[in-house]
Amino acid sequence: ASGQQLSRGYYSKTCPKVFSTVRSVVKAAVAKEKRMGASLLRLHFHDCFVQGCDGSILLDDTSSFTGEKTALPNNNSVRGFNVVDDIKSKVESVCPGVVSCADILTIAARDSVDILGGPKWDVKVGRRDSRRASLSAANSGVIPPPTSTLSNLINRFQARGLSAKDMVVLSGAHTIGQARCTLFRNRIYNETNIDTSFARTRQANCPRPNGSGDNNLAVLDVKTPTKFDNSYYKNLLNKKGLLHSDQILYNNGSTDSFIESYSKNPKAFANDFVTAMIKMGDISPLTGSNGEIRKNCRRAN
Ligand code: HEM
Ligand SMILES: [Ca+2]
Ligand SMILES: [Ca+2]
């Protein structure tokens, strides 16, 4: 039945080693490539915003549905599926048929933040996996694009039960990871609320003509791109946000005071980030007899 709650101890009898198992694979993957921590964190976000935290983003296309992987916010963008497969197979080898792929994403996101120097927290588990995914659901605008206005960002998060403050604090995830030129080109050439020398530096690897260098990458946090800290907010104070949707959070609007506060107070950022991640992880989970425990995260059983 639905309405059952997630809990920390959900696997304490059935898979006591789940946390150490996930962590060891994430640790190795991040040691190999730091960006993978960012990629795993983002996968959890993009999963939770479409159909809830149900592992839907992990499903490959089938003859009966086209999944989320080729949706606009995900195509040529989300990554880390092989690491998720690796985690799943290690978890299956210690407790077969018990741990959902949705929970694996939640745990891997938590571990990634911790491993890159951010806060630690206890995650709630007990989510089950969806049997389907839908391209149109993922394309319906539930995941806001980087061209969004501030009110658009606030509304998209509100629609998922997250406040404007949650939205601002979760955007702090852009303290790690990278973005493609095509998604910040307009900002670095045409916007005025940007530091001139920062814009010039980014222009050097992101040519002006549409289509040239579209996939060239830049770090989201110019100061500490692989450390999970509050430097993202300091960048915004200095007009060094990479995406339009980053800088719009500090642009003489209603969220300015959050940015000022998190830039000065790393503890407040860490605490509020944890609270908001737990809230995000609570979005419409499948529990009880809903959904299933997938054997392979890429397909329904
Ligand atoms: C507020 C609305 C948000 C917008 C508009 C947004 C937009 C983006 C865009 C455009 C990229 C670059 C994608 C690419 O280059 O293909 C990105 C990367 C990233 N986003 Fe967000 N994002 C938002 C919120 C979040 C949230 C809530 C999280 C997690 C809690 C998150 C975590 C990340 C991470 C870690 C990366 C880097 C991924 C990597 O390097 O693989 N973002 N985001
Ligand atoms: Ca989902
Ligand atoms: Ca950082």
88-131 pLDDT, tens per residue? 999 999 999 999 999 999 999 999 999 999 999 999 999 999 99
pLDDT at 1: 36
Specify the amino acid at residue 178: Q
User: Where is the binding site for heme b, in residues?
Assistant: 174
**In whole angstroms, how large is the CA radius of gyration of the chain?**
19
Residue with tokens 């005025």: 192
- State the distance from the centre of ligand 3 to the C-alpha of 89, rounded, in angstroms: 31
Give the global pTM: 0.98
Ligand 1 atom with minimal separation from the 170 CA: 27
Looking at all shown ligands, the one closest to residue 83's CA atom is 1
Alpha helices in the chain (DSSP H): 18-32, 35-49, 81-94, 101-115, 135-138, 150-158, 164-171, 181-190, 196-203, 231-237, 244-247, 256-264, 266-281
**pLDDT value of position 5:** 84
User: Could you give the maximum distance between any two Cα atoms of the chain, in Å?
Assistant: 57
Tens of pLDDT, residue by residue over 34-85, are: 999 999 999 999 999 999 999 999 999 999 999 999 999 999 999 999 999 9
Does the annotation mark 46 as catalytic? yes
User: Which residues carry a binding-site annotation for substrate?
Assistant: 144
Q: Which ligand is nearest to the CA of 77?
A: 1
Q: How confident is the model at residue 2 (pLDDT cuts 50, 70, 90)?
A: very low
Ligand nearest to the CA of 68: 2
pLDDT in tens, 225-247: 999 999 999 999 999 999 999 99
Among the options 46, 69, 240, 294, which is catalytic?
46
pLDDT value at 3 more than 80:
no
**Is ligand 1 within 6 A of the CB of residue 255?**
no
Angle at 121 between CA 247 and CA 288, to 5 degrees: 105
158 lines ligand 1 (CB under 6 A): no
Nearest CA to ligand 1 atom 35: 38
The number of the ligand 1 atom at minimal distance from the alpha carbon of 179 is: 15
Q: pLDDT-based confidence at 13, cuts 50/70/90?
A: very high
* Token digits of residue 94: 């210690």
Residue written as token pair 């005071």:
257
Share of the chain above pLDDT 70, in %: 99
At 119-146, the pLDDT tens digits run: 999 999 999 999 999 999 999 999 999 9
Q: What mean pLDDT, rounded, does the chain reach?
A: 97
What is the pLDDT at residue 85?
98
Top mutation candidate among 30, 42, 142, 269 for ligand 1, by most atoms within 8 Å of CB: 42
* pLDDT value of residue 240: 98
